[in-house]
Structure 1
Amino acid sequence: MAESSAATASPPSEPLCCPACHMLANSSASFSGHATCNTCRLIASLEARIDELENRIRTLDQISKQLVAEPPINCVDASVGTVSTTMTAPSQQGDSSWVTVGRARSKRKQPVGPVSPGAISKRMKPTANHQPTHVSNRFSPLASPEKPATLVIGASTLRNVRLATPSVIVKSISGARANDIESNLKVLAKANRKYSKIVIHTGTNDVRLRQSEITIQNFISVCRFAQQMSDSVTFSGPIPIRRGDEMLSRISDLNRWLSKCCANNNVGFIDNFSSFWGKPGLLKRDGIHPNPRGAYLLSRNIDRHLTEASS
């Protein structure tokens, strides 16, 4: 009986492998009838939700900037820095027996009767001369420095970047691609902002489009516009992330193309890919954003490039 039961037993099935994360599973329940495992499909759905939320944030950010850019009400003359006071005379009414008294907003009226000369002299006191009030901005030295500052702009990878180079402005835009960075530069250009150097950090969000030709055109476009705002433009290359072999291969190809394109067009390039390669401990658990150690390394790479460019 033991031999017959052993003969009828089915051979053990081979473990299933997920093509995205290469996870092995003995049960098909971990895949639920799909090619990829349940964990990878959950991560993909969360990434799609994150992209949607980031697009909403960018839209709200652009709307808020447009509202801030609208001119204020004409109550202060900014060109001369004075506040003007306007005095209006009371309107003449058809009935001569009533006159308006009190504040301009008051509608209370009093009848006119016999008035003594002393009361008339009291009512006809000379109006005090209103001197214009001088308005100045005590933060103006900070708003218009003698030397233009350096702008470092890019995606959320720059969120925890802290640079030791003086007069550097770091602008982090969540989920930004190359075209989003160009839109922000156009807003700054309308305000007549000029910078001594501009460093653009992007790449991770652009490769998600899976459209290499469009990505290349977006990089060329943002580079040309940045060159109109500064004589020194630098691209900070992408960092390798842990999101599957396909995503890593695209980032590697983009980094290779970007380094060659910058060298051929007299544009600076910071090779962050080589600095982060083989060091997974520099990234957070999401596998995309650098942790404090990774942010320190990225800051050091940008600082080193800015120091070499200034010397």
Structure 2
Amino acid sequence: MCGKNTKVLCFPKDMVNNLKERILQIADEYPTVTNIVLHTGSNDVSKQQSEALKRDFTGLLHTVNSLNAAVFISGPVPPVRGGDERFSRLFALNKWLISACTDHSVHFINNFNIFWERRHLFKKRFVTHPSDFFSLS
């Protein structure tokens, strides 16, 4: 993911709404960016407000459509542990994001399919469960 022309910015406490507010300012700071990968939403799931989270994501998707870069939403990573409710909420968010991103012509990275039942990918040597971040390249 990282190369000499890549910049990774992390905002571990941010929620989707925070990123929506930040993205335009950061895109202005990096006017030559061609690709943006956003990974956000995991912090929001713990609030247990699915409809509000969908509204926040819809706002973010509208915002990123105004950027002159290809935008990729990095979907939620399935929990290694955390109970049935967290799994259910993340899985539902993932399913909803697949269609929402398609509707807004935003690329979607389906982490659920990549990481599901692959516990070996969660070993300490890997950074596979990122904090909310986005990457500019």
TM-score, length of structure 2 as denominator length = 0.80
- CA distance in 2 between counterparts of 1:227 and 1:263 reads 12
1:223/1:233 contact within 8 Å kept: no
CA shift for structure 1 position 279: 2.3
Aligned to 2:84: 245
- CA distance in 2 between counterparts of 1:192 and 1:250 reads 34
Aligned to 1:214: 52
- CA distance in 2 between counterparts of 1:294 and 1:198 reads 19
Q: Among the aligned pairs, what percent are the same residue?
A: 31
Tell me the SS of whatever aligns to 1:170. strand
CA shift for structure 1 position 244: 0.7
Q: Larger RCO: Structure 1 or Structure 2 (Cα < 8 Å, ≥ 6 residues apart)?
A: 2
CA shift for structure 1 position 205: 1.0
- CA distance in 2 between counterparts of 1:292 and 1:274 reads 21
Amino acid at match of 2:64: A
TM-score, length of structure 1 as denominator length = 0.38
- CA distance in 2 between counterparts of 1:220 and 1:166 reads 32
- Is residue 280 from structure 1 mapped to residue 119 from structure 2 by the alignment? yes
What are structure 1's unaligned runs of at least 5 residues?
A: 1-162, 285-290, 299-305, 307-311
2:58/2:100 contact within 8 Å kept: no
**Bigger CA radius of gyration:** 1
What are structure 2's unaligned runs of at least 5 residues?
A: 131-136
- CA distance in 2 between counterparts of 1:181 and 1:259 reads 19
Q: Say what the alpha-carbon RMSD is for the aligned residues.
A: 2.4
2:65/2:104 contact within 8 Å kept: no
CA shift for structure 1 position 172: 1.0
- Aligned pair count reads 129
2:17/2:56 contact within 8 Å kept: yes
Amino acid at match of 2:88: S
Aligned to 2:134: none
Aligned to 2:133: none
- Equivalences for 1:164-203 in 2 at 5 Å? 164-189=2-27, 191=28, 193-194=30-31, 195-203=33-41
Q: 1:176-214, CA deviations, whole angstroms, 9 ceiling, x for partnerless residues?
A: 21111122224325x554221211111211211211111
2:78/2:90 contact within 8 Å kept: yes
